[in-house]
Amino acid sequence: MENEELFAGEPALDAQLADAQRPAAASKQAPLQIHTEPLLADDDDWQQHQQQQHEERVRTIHGRPRWRQPHIWWLLPFGLLFTLGFGGLAVPRINLIMSLICRDYFAEKTSQDPNFTYLPVVFGEDNFQCRLPEIQSLVAKFQLYINLVTGIISALVSPRLGHLSDRYGRTTLIALCAMGAVFNEAITAIVASWPETMSVNILLVGAVADGLGGSFTTAQALIHSYASDCTPPDRRSVAFGMFHGALFLGIAVGPTGAAYLISKTGDSLIVFYIGLALHSFFCLSVYFIVPESLSKERQLEARERHRVKQADAPDSSWYSLKALNPLNLITPLKILMPAVGRPSALFPNRRGASRALRRNIVLLAAMDTAVFGVAMGTVQVIIIYAEYMFKWGNVESSLFVSIINVVRVVNLFVVLPIVARLFRTPSEDDGVIRGSDMLDIVLIRLSVVFDVLGYVGYALSKHPSVMILSGAVASLGGMGSPTLQSSLTKHVPHERVGQMLGATGLLHALARVVAPTIFNLIYSMTVATYPQTVFVALAAVFGVVFFMSLLIRPHVTLEDEPISDATVEANEVGESEEDRLLM
């Protein structure tokens, strides 16, 4: 089928069938090969090394029929079910928090003034008495606490889970991440079942469980690693866009389904139980049904390399003083800052990374982090703002979220694949680093422009229709995030794609802490005076991102710039002090 041809993994189907017909005994008797990359190598050795890596990637998991080969279409349907539960719970979760905080706020007022009276707060109803600036501020702060707890913990565990996926497979670690979400939804469902006796602070326990699983930031990085294993570079942006589209499709349809169930049954509790069931089904399906994208051979090689590294490293145990070094938290980010003109494990050719390549990696990573941070920092704020300004309830807010995400889905599932089909020339996956093409850069810049227009529209909205239109315009920028992440993978060797996405996962986890902290504080401090301040700040952030996009160069390679023999000789002495500190 055409779709299968578009997303055929980098192991070509003919090569897959040829490998599947090889005798099983030959594969069992083959010795375990540990591929080590030389610290110093000339250009011929580097090209030979890249060719060997390419031939290794052509080989697939032996003994599997064609229909059981790893493919993004295995993971997409189950991922959609997960996002349906995630999207369906977005608005009811916020309103649950608002109801609990509103109840506690009025109870405290009553304890201070016995003559104070108020309408009872009923969970699942539109409690208009709760639409006070003070309560809005408390809700924004509590959302901040949840994001802080989840973000800090996920930032600590995300790199470790990413490295484990190289040694024990993608699907196992994706299922493990989903387990954290399952526990979080279970706790939320318990609180929603007995809101009269439950404290809102219990939801922080669910945030801890979600963070221990790496949260969805780590799951997203692992899913993209799975897609990278199955998809060649020239089709990778479309594959990433498909997963982003599945995310937004679930967020679009989920609130609509939740609003329909709530309006028909009059009970919000059913939405929490359905969300818990969908997340549990996703966890089990990924572990037992979705085929693993990493072969056992590659997993064993990664385990052996890790064992050798641990054996050679002194004080490598988790309880050593070195393990407590705060610099260990940022060690995975070293892949984003390759040395210029010095061979390394990441770029072991004679000249190392060129300045243009290094600049592109840093710019793309910074832009990707900013775009993700804005998306994370504004989801709850936009809903809270719209409900406060336009007196929306569960149904209106759910429909708003659905409309803007339908635009994202059409953009990612229809527009982006068509653009890639018409304007991108397929390239051979020969292991050569070519960087972003001009189409990637144009899509990134265009997406940022749509984001700026959308957030300016939010700030100027005086009517619900203008608010919805602004959300639709901002949603057109949804193709920027998958294009940014796909472009990053084009700047490193294939065997380091997982490491690169793990580093971006760490940045996303940190952005999940910093961005909501800033934007929720801005909203809580200005909601009583000028609540649109947060959207003005967001438009300014995207203005900076657009300026950064103007500095990206297309088609960069490892050796775009000449390097003197003296620099090469100086770099052959050894690692810099910075590298030793980060190790």
DSSP 319: T
Whether 318 has a pLDDT exceeding 90, the answer reads no
% of the chain surpassing 70 pLDDT: 74
pTM value is: 0.69
Give the range among 60-64, 92-96, 114-118, 388-392 with minimum mean pLDDT: 60-64
Check if the beta carbon of residue 352 is closer than 8 Å to that of residue 340: yes
Distance CA 436, CA 234 (A): 10
For residues 257 and 53, which has the higher predicted lDDT (pLDDT)? 257
% of the chain surpassing 90 pLDDT: 16
Whether 14 has a pLDDT exceeding 80, the answer reads no
Whole-number CA gyration radius for the chain: 25
pLDDT at 282 (0 to 100): 93
Tell me the average pLDDT across 143-162.
82
Give the range among 315-319, 362-366, 569-573 with minimum mean pLDDT: 569-573
Question: For 496-533, how does the pLDDT look when each residue is reduced to its tens digit (9 = 90+)?
Answer: 666 677 677 778 877 877 887 788 788 888 888 888 89
At a CB cut-off of 8 Å and minimum separation 6, what does 424 contact? 234, 437, 439
Whether 570 has a pLDDT exceeding 50, the answer reads no
The pair of structure tokens assigned to 431 is: 């292991």
Burial degree of 395 (CB within 10 A; 0-12, 13-18, 19+): middle
pLDDT at 145 (0 to 100): 87
For residues 278 and 316, which has the higher predicted lDDT (pLDDT)? 278
Question: For 45-97, how does the pLDDT look when each residue is reduced to its tens digit (9 = 90+)?
Answer: 545 555 555 555 544 444 567 778 888 889 988 988 888 888 888 888 888 89
DSSP codes, 38-79: -SS--HHHHHHHHHHHHHHHH---TT--GGGS--HHHHHHHH
pLDDT at 197 (0 to 100): 85
Which range in 133-137, 379-383, 472-476 is most confidently predicted, on average pLDDT?
Answer: 472-476
Q: How confident is the model at residue 428 (pLDDT cuts 50, 70, 90)?
A: low
Domains of the chain, start order: 68-112+130-305+329-337+348-424+431-562 (1.20.1250.20)
Question: For 327-356, how does the pLDDT look when each residue is reduced to its tens digit (9 = 90+)?
Answer: 556 666 666 666 554 544 455 444 556 778
